[in-house]
């Protein structure tokens, strides 16, 4: 007996709709994409009850005539591609001719549309995929799609919807994505009769980000401005090192104007940030990739959320490079703030508040062995450090004592001072004091800077060790007893492949039979109690870091893990010259504003912010 039957048309279209329309936010996404493809300048969205009871999208795009409007509701009817060849290079957001019929098959649907020069428009009402009414309509030029009672005919689907709040938030996020992807279009969202946002058409992406997320965020972003590599151009904004979020909602990537989620892109961004990102945190990115449409396959995901790249390695490398270049530029801009003359404190009239006068012993940077003043209600000390010796990294070793031993010899001090007078001021700042035995307070051209002395020292040690590793290789230390350990076949292959890299890193490792390895030495700066366990951890970490493991990368991972133990801790009181040296060394670092784990080392509070807080400026 035959068991296979053709599904009735309505069931077939509901099955297909299941792929396209997961939830109200997918309806919003599809409708807005259609409006963008119709070259709308303004797109307004209205939702009720999380979009479950109503989604309405109104645009001022090209509209459709009656024949097209009817055709748009047919499955596989599209104006965007004509042949299989067109599918190889899709330049529009839509291309399948599936969205409208899918949405119409699972809702009570109404489409009203009018072309700009047409006398009358068309209104079509569809219920559960069946066209009920077609008549003339008199709306403004453009298209309006109204979707009511989503999934009313699919109770099983409806059960999977989340709370109205969650669905509303998903919709809001979806419109944010579209608004960031298309700043030149105005967007608004009305939720249950409340206007959530109204974004005017923006001239630039920066303006759109400001309108959506506020000037505070925009000020902490850096514009991506990297040299195009091959056919890939990358633009947009990314967060400064140290700016991160607990979720991925502000890690946005657009490929040819389409918001894309992809493990490849996420990994590339993470790699670009490298030590500038805290573990478990996500960067803030508004990254725009433009590449030849033929180099991207958009036809791989039912909701068009993913793409496949013809040359994924090239895309990955381009992203990593552009993020690195951008962070590098932002570092230079940051350092600039320490080069301008610091604001000279207003003179304090002697006879009015004598207690606030500069304490002479603190004002003299030559006094090397004096404890810094702790900030108290009456003792606000100001120490001046202007004109600084050339950048130097005479870090003797990874211990605190060695790294920050103050110069004891008075002649060397005199020489340093002399040099500081000759060398033009490279970095200028004034150290004000230390707060809570941890935060160094200082003043630079922009205002107040707070430095976390522990994080700062971690960064300095990290870069110093890395530099030494690059220059001299890693000093190794023989183990008292060689250790052998077994690994599963896949890890064994990985070690075999990377054995020379591991050796360069100071790990004395060699094969000791199938699946077994022997280690007899480890990098000197490590303090490892169980070498086998350590190796397994290193392998896991590095395998997840990517394919092109380099000795540098491997070493950095290990160094980052170890410097923390050696760095100055909070509560370690530092003397004035030690602090001064710490700050100078920090400013000389490649990535001065975050520790190797991505936590910020410095926080800048600008004068403008202070003025705002004190109500001097609104
Ligand atoms: N807002 C609109 N303004 C003008 N034309 C529209 C609008 N929405 C849809 N259309 C027309 O209807 C057609 C069908 O839309 P539909 O969304 O179903 O398919 P698509 O956009 O071509 O592909 P996809 O299924 O990938 O979205 C489109 O190709 C377009 O010509
Ligand atoms: Mg579409």
Cα distance between residue 115 and residue 112, in whole Å? 11
Give tens-digit pLDDT for 12-35.
888 877 788 999 999 999 999 999
According to DSSP, residue 511 is labeled E
Comparing CA positions, the residue from 83, 12, 23 lying closest to residue 55 is 23
What pLDDT sits at residue 541? 66
| 384 pLDDT tier (thresholds 50, 70, 90) | very low
Place of tokens 């961004």: 269
CA 318, distance to chain mean position in Å, is 16
Q: Is the CB of 62 under 6 A from ligand 1?
A: yes
Comparing CA positions, the residue from 70, 61, 36 lying closest to residue 143 is 61
What pLDDT sits at residue 406? 37
Q: Is the CB of 61 under 6 A from ligand 1?
A: yes
According to DSSP, residue 287 is labeled E
Name the pTM for this structure: 0.71
| 553 pLDDT tier (thresholds 50, 70, 90) | low
Is residue 259's pLDDT more than 50?
yes
- Specify the higher pLDDT residue, 550 or 202: 202
Give tens-digit pLDDT for 396-438.
333 333 333 333 344 444 444 343 333 334 567 889 999 988 8
| 554 pLDDT tier (thresholds 50, 70, 90) | low
Place of tokens 């633009």: 235
What pLDDT sits at residue 301? 87
Is residue 170's pLDDT more than 50?
yes
C-alpha 95 to ligand 2 mean position (Å): 7
C-alpha 328 to ligand 2 mean position (Å): 40
DSSP codes joined into one string, 577-613: HHHHHHHHHHHTSSSTTB-TTS-BSEEEEEHHHHHHH
Is residue 179's pLDDT more than 90?
yes
Find residue 66's DSSP bridge partners: none
- Specify the higher pLDDT residue, 468 or 319: 319
Residue with the smallest CA separation from ligand 1 atom 8 is: 34
Region 576-587 average pLDDT = 88
* Range list of β-strands (E), 357-496: 430-435, 439-444, 447-452, 476-486
C-alpha 26 to ligand 1 mean position (Å): 14
Query: Mean pLDDT of all residues in the chain?
Result: 81
What pLDDT sits at residue 501? 75
3-state SS class at 195: strand
C-alpha 80 to ligand 1 mean position (Å): 8
What pLDDT sits at residue 599? 84
Report how many helices (DSSP H) and strands (DSSP E) the chain contains, helices first.
Answer: 20, 24
Long-range contacts, 120-127 (Cβ 8 Å, 24+): 121/63, 122/64, 122/65, 122/66, 122/69, 124/69, 124/70, 124/73, 126/73
**Which two three-digit tokens encode residue 162?**
């989340």
Is residue 309's pLDDT more than 80?
yes
Q: How many residues does the chain have?
A: 618
What pLDDT sits at residue 351? 41
Q: Is the CB of 13 under 6 A from ligand 1?
A: no
What pLDDT sits at residue 461? 84
HSE-up of residue 396 (Cα within 13 Å, Cβ side):
9
Is residue 234's pLDDT more than 90?
yes
What pLDDT sits at residue 564? 64
What pLDDT sits at residue 596? 83
* Spatial CB neighbours of 355, under 8 Å, sequence gap ≥ 6: 378
DSSP codes joined into one string, 161-222: ---HHHHHHHHHHHHHHHHHH-TTSEEEEEETTEEEEEE---SSHHHHHHHHH-HHHHHTEE
Region 283-311 average pLDDT = 91
DSSP codes joined into one string, 2-22: ----PPPHHHHHHHHHHHH-S
**Which two three-digit tokens encode residue 573?**
């009181």
Q: Which helix (H) or strand (E) holds 269?
A: helix 263-273
What pLDDT sits at residue 386? 31
What pLDDT sits at residue 569? 67
């Amino acid at each position: 007996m035959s068991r296979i039957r053709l599904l009735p048309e309505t069931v077939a279209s509901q099955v297909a709709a299941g792929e396209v329309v997961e939830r109200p936010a997918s309806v919003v996404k599809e409708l807005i994409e259609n409006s963008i493809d119709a070259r709308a300048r303004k797109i307004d969205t209205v939702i009720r009850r999380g979009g479950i009871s109503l989604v309405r999208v109104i645009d001022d795009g090209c509209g459709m005539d009656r024949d097209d409007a009817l055709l748009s509701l047919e499955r596989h009817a599209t104006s965007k591609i004509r042949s299989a060849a067109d599918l190889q290079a899709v330049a529009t957001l839509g291309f399948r001719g599936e969205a409208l019929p899918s949405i119409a098959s699972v809702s009570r649907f109404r489409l009203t549309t009018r072309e700009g020069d047409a006398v009358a428009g068309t209104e079509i009402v569809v219920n559960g995929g069946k066209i009920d009414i077609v008549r003339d309509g008199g709306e403004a030029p453009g298209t309006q799609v109204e979707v009511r009672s989503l999934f009313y005919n699919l109770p099983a689907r409806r059960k999977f919807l989340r709370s109205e709040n969650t669905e509303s938030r998903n919709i809001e996020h979806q419109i944010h994505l579209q608004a960031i992807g298309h700043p030149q279009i105005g967007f608004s969202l009305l939720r249950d009769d409340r206007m959530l946002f109204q974004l005017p058409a923006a001239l630039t992406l920066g303006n759109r980000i400001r309108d959506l997320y506020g000037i505070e965020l925009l000020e902490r972003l850096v514009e991506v401005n990297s040299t195009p590599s091959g056919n890939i151009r990358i633009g947009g904004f990314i967060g400064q090192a140290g700016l991160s979020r607990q979720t991925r909602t502000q890690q946005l990537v657009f490929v040819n104007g389409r918001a894309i989620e992809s493990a490849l892109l996420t990994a590339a961004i993470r790699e670009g940030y490298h030590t500038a990102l805290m573990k478990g945190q996500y960067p803030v990115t508004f990254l725009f990739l433009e590449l030849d449409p033929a180099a991207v396959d958009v036809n791989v995901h039912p909701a068009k959320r993913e793409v496949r790249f013809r040359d994924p390695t090239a895309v990955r490398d381009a992203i990593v490079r552009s993020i690195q270049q951008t962070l590098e530029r932002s570092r230079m801009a940051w350092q600039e703030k320490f080069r301008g003359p610091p604001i000279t404190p207003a003179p304090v009239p002697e006879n009015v508040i004598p207690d606030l006068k500069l304490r002479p012993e603190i004002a003299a940077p030559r006094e090397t062995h004096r404890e810094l003043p702790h900030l108290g209600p009456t003792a606000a000390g100001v120490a001046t450090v202007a004109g600084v010796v050339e950048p130097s990294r005479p870090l003797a070793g990874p211990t605190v004592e060695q790294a920050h031993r103050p110069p004891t010899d008075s002649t060397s001090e005199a020489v340093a001072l002399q040099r500081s007078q000759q060398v033009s001021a490279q970095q200028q700042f004034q150290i004000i004091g230390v707060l809570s035995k941890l935060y160094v307070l200082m003043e630079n051209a922009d205002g107040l800077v707070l430095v976390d002395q522990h994080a700062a020292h971690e960064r300095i040690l990290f870069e110093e060790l890395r530099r030494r590793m690059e220059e001299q290789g890693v000093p190794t230390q023989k183990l008292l007893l060689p250790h052998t350990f077994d690994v599963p076949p896949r890890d064994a292959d990985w070690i075999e492949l990377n054995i020379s890299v591991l050796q360069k890193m100071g790990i004395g490792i060699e094969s000791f039979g199938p699946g077994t390895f022997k280690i007899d030495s480890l990098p000197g700066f490590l303090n490892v109690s169980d070498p086998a366990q350590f190796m397994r951890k290193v392998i896991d970490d590095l395998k997840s870091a990517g394919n092109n493991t380099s000795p540098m990368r491997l070493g950095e991972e290990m160094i980052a893990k170890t410097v923390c133990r050696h760095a100055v801790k909070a509560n370690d009181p530092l003397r004035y010259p030690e602090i001064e040296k710490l700050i100078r060394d920090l400013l000389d670092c490649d990535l001065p504003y975050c520790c190797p784990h991505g936590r910020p080392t410095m926080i800048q509070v600008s004068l403008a912010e202070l003025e705002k807080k004190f109500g001097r400026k609104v």
